[in-house]
Amino acid sequence: MTALLDTIAAGADEAEVAAAQAQLRTLFEGRIAFGTAGLRSSIGAGPQQMNRLVVRQTTAGLMDWLPDGALVVIGYDARHGSLDFARDTAGVVAAAGGRAEILPEPLPTPVLAHAVLLREADAGVMVTASHNPPADNGYKLYLGDGIQLVSPADREIAAAIDQVAAAQLAGERTIDIADESHPSYTVLDDTIAASHIELVQQALTGTARSTNLVYTAMHGVGGAHMERAFERAGFPSLLTVAEQHEPNPDFPTVAFPNPEEDGALDLALARAEAAGADGIIANDPDADRLAIAVADRNGRQQPLSGDQLGVLLADHLIRTGAGAANVGGRVTANSVVSSRLLSRMAEAAGIAHVTTLTGFKFVARPTIEMPERHYLLGYEEALGYCVGGLVRDKDGISAALVAAEMLASLAEAGITVWDRLDALAAEHGAHITGPVTIRLDGPDGLELREAMMARVLADPPQDLAGALRTSLEDLQAGTHFPPATGAILFFDDDTRVIVRPSGTEPKLKAYIEVVEKVNGPAHAAEAYVRGNARLAKAQRSLQAYFGLDLEDD
């Protein structure tokens, strides 16, 4: 902001001054939206970005909404500003008459989600921007049930925050803040993290432990915690990617700190190849997501898609009988943008299944809405997995333990993950998924995204690579899900397309799934070739519909 003010003060170039003034207005017009994902934006001045004033106003609004004397547990990662934002959150909670308990060091998001339940808190705040770029930070809110908030709570809290900000701007309110000496401000010890490590051991269902795995923390906070969890479970020591093991908020070795992104796993893949490892496991920076790669049939390390890992984890848990003794039965869940394969596996195994809207605030909800059932697994294709409902959010630590046990178990049986995927395809069809992503940066990005979404609803594609559209569901109608922005399109060859705006990034995303029949495991490879060809044609057809050069990822 200082550079903008200097440009305006200098006044040397009218165009530069006008541009600086417009950019300055952008920073101070409106307010960063508080929604079901809390806050997430770049760090900077003004109400549109993450800064200490915004965090203090947000927390004051939250405390107005919570009951008097509410207990709020606060966690934070190692991003720029995270510690200051966490301390400000705790200070406002304590000064407002609540009880603040802050974790003692940067820790994974699932540790905070666990702490909410362990401490029987009224709310939990995690300061993190997950896998966003280095310039970003965020404020993720959990309520007392240990799940991220949903409507109408998000709207009510947003209104309370707006009232605080308006009153402060008018000089009608101040926001008090306490320091660590306040009797209601407590810095917790390491027993919370240790408790999470003990808890996630319950995700394991067998004794297979023989693995040789490379691990990357992606410059985040998962490293030491993951190593302790693996040691406690009796697995061999992980081979770490040293350049990415310690927290570094600048993420210097990756262009984008998301294991889904091209190039993010390059160092881990090279380490695995050099060490002759069985595979790799990778977290995102706050360790709530998990990616893995294993050797393909040619011996090269191949990352699994989020859908592939989701169904493999479920397959392992089903085959090892996890939760089978529960008298109320079992349940699996995944988001609507994830593959339909899990629902078909669950049906074949006599397990209830719930398809939800995108977001673990929905995917984890069967843990409280169906308490009589054992929550076997919930997942999203974007590398988020909740095993056993141990933490009511995605947890890259517990999922990594189960993934390692699965790999060890298959190896003991002389079976590869590709063999299991072929067997599942033979039984339920080869399900092939892939996105089309439209990134819409710039000041008119939101308006363009809304216009493109409106077009999908008003004038949807009638065919997709030769397949005719058979139905369209406007998610805003709330027919099968709570109302949301998006559309589901079905075509007569069992292709499904879901179009929705990203909840955390300036993108419009289309999720495509094609299904191919398989005449036995030996013919799975042929089915995948056909299915991948159909997927590529569908992606090109959708690109032509939007009329843009699109980024496929």
Tokens, residue 50: 């993450």
> Is residue 8 scored above 60 in pLDDT?
no
Q: pLDDT: is 114 or 14 the higher one?
A: 114
Residue whose C-alpha is closest to residue 309's, from 211, 407, 383: 383
Q: What is the pLDDT of residue 192?
A: 98
Distance CA 194, CA 105 (A): 13
pLDDT band at residue 297 using 50, 70 and 90 as cut-offs? confident
> Is residue 30 scored above 70 in pLDDT?
yes
Q: Do residues 438 and 508 touch, judged by C-beta distance below 8 A?
A: yes
Full 3-state SS string of 313-325 = HHHHHHHCCCCCC
Q: Do residues 427 and 227 touch, judged by C-beta distance below 8 A?
A: no
Residue whose C-alpha is closest to residue 275's, from 218, 214, 210: 214
Distance CA 142, CA 163 (A): 21
Q: What integer best gives the mean pLDDT of the chain?
A: 93
Q: Do residues 493 and 517 touch, judged by C-beta distance below 8 A?
A: no
pLDDT per position as a tens digit, 330-378: 999 999 999 999 999 999 999 999 999 999 999 999 999 999 999 999 9
CA distances from 449 to 382, 446, 454, 501 (A): 21, 5, 9, 7
Q: What is the pLDDT of residue 550?
A: 44
Q: What is the mean predicted confidence (pLDDT) over 43-58?
A: 96
What residues contact residue 134 under an 8 Å CB cut-off, 6+ apart?
79, 80, 249, 250, 251, 257
Catalytic site residue 130?
A: yes
Q: pLDDT: is 269 or 23 the higher one?
A: 269
Residue whose C-alpha is closest to residue 220's, from 480, 37, 396: 396
Q: Which residue has the tokens 């697995």?
A: 235
Domains of the chain (ranges plus CATH)? 1-30 (no CATH), 33-189 (3.40.120.10), 196-426 (3.40.120.10), 430-546 (3.30.310.50)
Distance CA 103, CA 106 (A): 8
pLDDT per position as a tens digit, 454-505: 999 999 999 999 999 999 999 999 899 999 999 999 999 999 999 998 866 7
Q: What angle do CA 200, 414, 426 make, to 5 degrees?
A: 90
What residues contact residue 511 under an 8 Å CB cut-off, 6+ apart?
337, 381, 433, 435, 497, 498, 499, 500
Q: What angle do CA 199, 203, 209 make, to 5 degrees?
A: 110
Bridge-based pairing of strands 123-127 and 71-76 is parallel
Please, what sign has the CA dihedral across residues 528, 530, 536, 541?
negative
Q: Do residues 290 and 386 touch, judged by C-beta distance below 8 A?
A: no
Distance CA 63, CA 463 (A): 51
Residue whose C-alpha is closest to residue 521's, from 413, 391, 425, 381: 425
Distance CA 294, CA 87 (A): 41
Distance CA 202, CA 397 (A): 12
pLDDT band at residue 10 using 50, 70 and 90 as cut-offs? low
pLDDT per position as a tens digit, 195-214: 999 999 999 999 999 999 99
Q: What is the pLDDT of residue 553?
A: 40
> Is residue 538 scored above 80 in pLDDT?
yes
Q: What is the pLDDT of residue 141?
A: 97
Within 13 Å, how many C-alpha atoms sit on residue 392's CB side? 23
- Percentage of the chain modeled with pLDDT above 70: 93
Distance CA 159, CA 164 (A): 9
Enclosing H/E stretch for 497: strand 496-501
Q: What is the mean predicted confidence (pLDDT) over 100-128?
A: 98
Does the predicted TM-score (pTM) go above 0.85?
Answer: yes
Distance CA 405, CA 388 (A): 15
Q: What is the pLDDT of residue 37?
A: 78
Q: pLDDT: is 354 or 2 the higher one?
A: 354
pLDDT band at residue 552 using 50, 70 and 90 as cut-offs? very low
Residue 516 forms beta bridges with which residues? 430
Residue whose C-alpha is closest to residue 343's, from 372, 379, 371, 309: 379
Tokens, residue 486: 């998006």
pLDDT band at residue 33 using 50, 70 and 90 as cut-offs? confident
3-class secondary structure, 43? strand
Phi, psi of 143 (to 5 degrees): -95, -175
Cis peptide leading into residue 152 (ω within 30°): yes
CA distances from 372 to 350, 369, 533 (A): 16, 9, 43
Q: What is the pLDDT of residue 551?
A: 47
pLDDT per position as a tens digit, 130-187: 999 999 999 999 999 999 999 899 999 999 999 999 999 999 999 999 999 999 999 9
Distance CA 163, CA 169 (A): 10
Q: Catalytic: which of 41, 82, 130, 339?
A: 130
Full 3-state SS string of 335-389 = ECCCCCHHHHHHHHCCCEEEEECCCHHHHCCHHHHCCCCEEEEEEECCCEEEECC
Residue 211 exposed, middle or buried by CB count within 10 Å (0-12, 13-18, 19+): buried
Q: What is the mean predicted confidence (pLDDT) over 225-251?
A: 98
Phi, psi of 379 (to 5 degrees): -150, 160
Q: Do residues 541 and 465 touch, judged by C-beta distance below 8 A?
A: yes
Q: What is the mean predicted confidence (pLDDT) over 235-247?
A: 98
